[in-house]
Amino acid sequence: MFPMLKELSFENIYGGDYSDEMLTQCQSNGHSDLINISKRDIYDTKFEPNKFHAILSSRFLFHCDDQPRLFIEFKRLIKPNGYLIFDTLNWSPRSRLSFYSKKLGGDIFINDHKSIISLANQYGFTVVKSQNVFMFPSFLYNFIPSFLMSLVRRLELVWPSILKTKTVWLLQKND
């Protein structure tokens, strides 16, 4: 993702995480020269208001236990007419099996479309687009043999959207 963002001519790209393990992984991905990576508390990032044209929050919202507080910080950070891109889980076996949640990184939270539309409206964003993706929980794709992936991708094209596991959202901050 980082080289693609750099190609879009963003002057600066920042990355943050609260987990030392994830920060180490980000710094070892070979693109640390393209991005300013630092440890951050997402609820209190210490960046000045209206700093960013766009925020990409990948694989975070479904770990967040205080989504209104998160949206308050997103609203503070994004410039008027700027963009917020993130993903949510529509369903996951981890939400029903606490053993797997603890083993795979903690509790997760499911969002339906109405809850995201409500958060967007409440905190000054407009939903520009949403797209449901993945017929399997995303961690399972790591175990699918590569020779089967083209079949899985073709099936996903006809898989009912309502049964897909994740939604990717594009929101725009209102003036």
Dihedral of CA atoms 127, 129, 135, 136 in degrees, nearest 10, equals -50
Q: How far apart are CA 30 and CA 2, in angstroms?
A: 10
Quote the pTM value. 0.82
For the stretch 8-21, pLDDT in tens is 677 777 777 777 77
pLDDT tens string 78-115 = 999 999 998 988 877 665 666 555 555 566 777 889 99
Length of the chain, in residues: 175
Of 142, 143, 111, 138, the residue nearest 127 (C-alpha): 111
Fold category of 41-173 in CATH: Rossmann fold (3.40.50)
Break the chain into its structural domains and give their ranges.
41-173
The 10 Å Cβ neighbour count of residue 146 is 6
pLDDT, tens digit (0-9, with 9 covering 90-100), for 118-147: 999 999 999 999 999 999 988 889 899 999
